[in-house]
Structure 1
Amino acid sequence: MAVWGIGVAVYFVAITYRTSLGVAGLDAAERFHINASALSTFSLLQLLVYAGMQIPVGLLVDRLGPKKVLTLGVVLYTVGQFGFALSSSYGMALGSRALLGCGDAMTFISVLRLGSQWFPARRGPMIAQIAALVGMAGNLVSTLVLARFLHSFGWTPTFVASAAGGIVVLIVLLLFLKDRPEGFASPPPSAQHTGPGFVRRQIAESWREPGTRLGMWVHFTTQFPAMVFLLLWGLPFLVEAQGLSRGTAGELLTLVVLSNMAVGLIYGQVIARHHAARMPLALGTVLATALMWAIVLCWPGAHAPMGLLIVLCAVLGACGPASMIGFDFARPANPPERLGTASGIVNMGGFTASMTTLFAIGVLLDATGDNYRIAFASIFVVEALGVSQMLRLRRRAVRRERERLVVSRVEAVHVPA
């Protein structure tokens, strides 16, 4: 448990860095003298690198093991955060966020692989939700601590101080993290994956499984509404479109994080006990999110009432836990030696959707003179695409999962004593 906790701590710091721009978006616009489209490019580039790295990272985890991949990730995201702290130009800041995104991309899949090697398979859904919950605590640090430091001490001291956290977890990681428990039956990953065609074979076989593809679309559809809100556009929307103070807006962002943590525990328990609840929970979260956004954006008058914004933020908190369901479709569809690659494919989904929506909102804000109602309507288009793919793949994935379960039971019966 303690060893797995080190991996989760690495992910915690990564989330803190990833979401730091969410409370610094307005400050970044002033510091670098940029408009909404240029501001969205920060998060867009970061997520582009993150999404593009998912399959390579999954392959690396399968081949090298999580410790080496996590070590490289910590080095990259710490250097990126230091660079962002010291950036005096827009170009330098962009490069730093790209480096940060590259390091961030190496964390969550590695943590999932650690969990699969340190805990029994039946606890997989709960372990994944707990890892995501701790990661959201990193988001809480951004919305509560980083925002206050930014207001009190300014840009450079705040981001330099936060970057020091990466050095701490790197030291702990190097000293104490192990890929697997003593006596773990599986051979080292590097011994399992050799020979020509390894990369192509891993990707093709993972993608061939309907559960992998369904997991990707579940992640695509459920994660991005909250990600877009927390990563960049939530604070500007609440301050500029809803007329709230930055302090009140920060409290609502905190509510999203707290809701995420509470719902994550519930979803993890429900899925661990009732596997059939996966798809209803995912679709129900998408429906609730779309409904709340529709009410807020269509509300007559300039500003939605505070009670409605509170409910919106509470519902957005369910998006992160719902996105973890995608991994619960991919996990039983793939053998352990392919789990990193399959998880990388799934994780691409939500970040691709987030990247697309971040860009769309920035472009629409510039094109419409900061009309947030039109800009945020792009959420519905992305959700509709994702839901159509989820409905198309769900029966095929469930049927294939049942077939694999029957085969595994037959093999278990015929294993010699």
Structure 2
Amino acid sequence: MKAGIAFLVLAYVLSQFYRAFLAVMAPVLASDIGATPQSLATASGVWFAVFAAMQIPVGIALDRIGPRLTASVLLLVGGAGGAALFATAADVRDVQIAMGLIGLGCSPVLMATYYIFARVYSAAIFATLAGVTIGIGSMGNLAAATPMAWAVEAVGWRETVWGLALVTGLVALALFLLIKDPAKPEGDQKGSLMDLLRIPALWLIFPLMFVGYAPSAGVRGLWVGPYVGDVFDLTVAEIGTVSLIMGVAMVVGSFAYGPLDRFFGTRKWVILIGNLLGAFACLAIWAVPESSILTATVLVAALGLFGASFPALVAHGRSFFPPHLVGRGVTLMNLFGIGGVGVMQFTSAPFFTALSGTMALPAAYGALFGVFGLAVLIGCAIYLFSEDRLD
């Protein structure tokens, strides 16, 4: 079981990498295949949309056939196959299709890990385990920053992505060989997604789940590169450094959120205060989008740090799930989390295009961050009425 979990976490490292590497490759993709920030925002949105759409079938598969086949087959076909298509892309449309396939491949890995945690370990430490997984997985976020920039400059972006396709295929094979499916819950309990949707407490968590992860994931996955590049005229390596700093902050935040609920004796208020601080970071960029590169770096790092409540929110929702619906429950939470990122990525591209046609680029980027921040504030206002629960 430990070896299987280790490779699931490695697969999640790849998942985090794939959702973030477009930001660093934006300049070379622009010169080689004519990609624009807007078209890459669409490609990023396709990744998140496919990933989100897969959560319901993935949840059913986890409950019925287990994590072993669910994770290994999808990662091999979608992840490795999509990366291979990306490496041969002739235009932006190929990149967008490839990102959809990669989203398909990455869709089960984190939820398969959470499923095993929920079935094997106690509920009291679920948030900590979930946070550690996100924290380690976020190393992929870091690798998609400066190391990715170095690799692209050293060997080329196509060769780099071919290497990623090979690594992804090998990890998928390891999942098939090493994962052991947990024992099924005792009894013959039946249930469906509708049983989860009938739990009133979840409906006060879903809105923040939908908007809370979108700013940090969306900005780190795409907008941080164009923002600091256009406003402060940075090189690819310098963009990679800013992305790396934001990625490190997201790792720290993921590790921190997990144990804080037990330290303070509350899960709700840890999540609420953290998301409010993340929203204020977005609003601060809106207020001063071009003050200095140092200020911009500090604020996007703060967004990454405080916007890392994803595992804590999943744990909050997990506390309301019946045992026989854990697979569908965690994937339902992930559907809202990743779906929110996908929706905001799709809408952010035309929104930014409209803004940049009527105002200076710094102001347009600032307004984009401002919308992210306002969305999180709305989610926090609803979450304020949620039931606090630790078990």
Radius of gyration: which is bigger? 1
State how 1:194-273 maps to structure 2 within 5 Å.
201-273=191-263
4+ runs deviating over 6 angstroms? none
Instruction: State the partner residue of 1:159.
Output: 161
**Structure 2 Cα separation of the partners of residues 295 and 396 of structure 1:** 27
User: Are the equivalent residues in 2 in contact too, given 1:36–1:363 (CA < 8 A)?
Assistant: no
Q: How far has the Cα of 1:340 moved from its partner?
A: 1.7
Change (3 A) 1:94 1:102: same
| Residue among 348, 370, 374 paired with 2:335 | 348
**Structure 2 Cα separation of the partners of residues 274 and 185 of structure 1:** 33
User: Are the equivalent residues in 1 in contact too, given 2:83–2:162 (CA < 8 A)?
Assistant: yes
| Residue among 128, 141, 164 paired with 2:130 | 128
Q: How far has the Cα of 1:138 moved from its partner?
A: 1.0
User: Are the equivalent residues in 2 in contact too, given 1:49–1:102 (CA < 8 A)?
Assistant: yes
Provide TM-score, normalisation by structure 1.
Answer: 0.85
Aligned residues: 386
User: Are the equivalent residues in 2 in contact too, given 1:239–1:245 (CA < 8 A)?
Assistant: yes
Identity of aligned residues (%): 20
**Structure 1 Cα separation of the partners of residues 109 and 260 of structure 2:** 26
Instruction: State the partner residue of 2:304.
Output: 317
Instruction: State the partner residue of 2:19.
Output: 18
User: Are the equivalent residues in 2 in contact too, given 1:215–1:346 (CA < 8 A)?
Assistant: no
Q: How far has the Cα of 1:376 moved from its partner?
A: 4.5
Moved more, 168-177 or 231-240: 168-177
Provide, for residues 120-170 of structure 1, a one-character-per-residue CA deviation record: whole Å limited to 9, x for no partner. 222101000011011101111111322211112112111001111112212
**Structure 1 Cα separation of the partners of residues 145 and 169 of structure 2:** 22
Provide, for residues 29-75 of structure 1, a one-character-per-residue CA deviation record: whole Å limited to 9, x for no partner. 22221433322111111111111111221121111111111112211
Mapped pair 1:68 → 2:73 = no
SS in 2 for 1:317: helix
Provide, for residues 184-209 of structure 1, a one-character-per-residue CA deviation record: whole Å limited to 9, x for no partner. 5735xxx957xxxx7xx511111122
State how 1:174-213 maps to structure 2 within 5 Å.
174-180=176-182, 184=183, 186=185, 201-213=191-203
Unaligned runs of 5+ residues in structure 2 are: none
Amino acid at match of 1:125: A
Amino acid at match of 2:224: G
Mapped pair 1:357 → 2:372 = no
Q: How far has the Cα of 1:280 moved from its partner?
A: 2.2
**Structure 2 Cα separation of the partners of residues 284 and 360 of structure 1:** 27
**Structure 2 Cα separation of the partners of residues 321 and 35 of structure 1:** 28
**Structure 1 Cα separation of the partners of residues 286 and 290 of structure 2:** 9
What is the RMSD computed on CA atoms of the aligned residues?
Answer: 2.4
Instruction: State the partner residue of 1:284.
Output: 273
**Structure 2 Cα separation of the partners of residues 320 and 287 of structure 1:** 9
**Structure 2 Cα separation of the partners of residues 53 and 319 of structure 1:** 27
**Structure 2 Cα separation of the partners of residues 393 and 15 of structure 1:** 26
**Structure 2 Cα separation of the partners of residues 108 and 376 of structure 1:** 32
Change (3 A) 1:99 1:241: same
User: Are the equivalent residues in 2 in contact too, given 1:214–1:390 (CA < 8 A)?
Assistant: no
**Structure 1 Cα separation of the partners of residues 334 and 270 of structure 2:** 18
| Residue among 266, 277, 282 paired with 1:293 | 282
**Structure 2 Cα separation of the partners of residues 60 and 173 of structure 1:** 16
SS in 2 for 1:244: coil
Provide, for residues 81-126 of structure 1, a one-character-per-residue CA deviation record: whole Å limited to 9, x for no partner. 1110111133222211111111111111111101223322221010
Mapped pair 1:327 → 2:314 = yes
Change (3 A) 1:392 1:357: closer
User: Are the equivalent residues in 2 in contact too, given 1:78–1:100 (CA < 8 A)?
Assistant: yes
Change (3 A) 1:146 1:313: same
**Structure 1 Cα separation of the partners of residues 336 and 368 of structure 2:** 17
Q: How far has the Cα of 1:394 moved from its partner?
A: 4.8
| Residue among 99, 102, 106 paired with 1:100 | 102
Change (3 A) 1:52 1:272: same
SS in 2 for 1:377: helix
Provide, for residues 334-361 of structure 1, a one-character-per-residue CA deviation record: whole Å limited to 9, x for no partner. 1122112122221122323322332333
Change (3 A) 1:91 1:296: closer
**Structure 2 Cα separation of the partners of residues 27 and 146 of structure 1:** 12
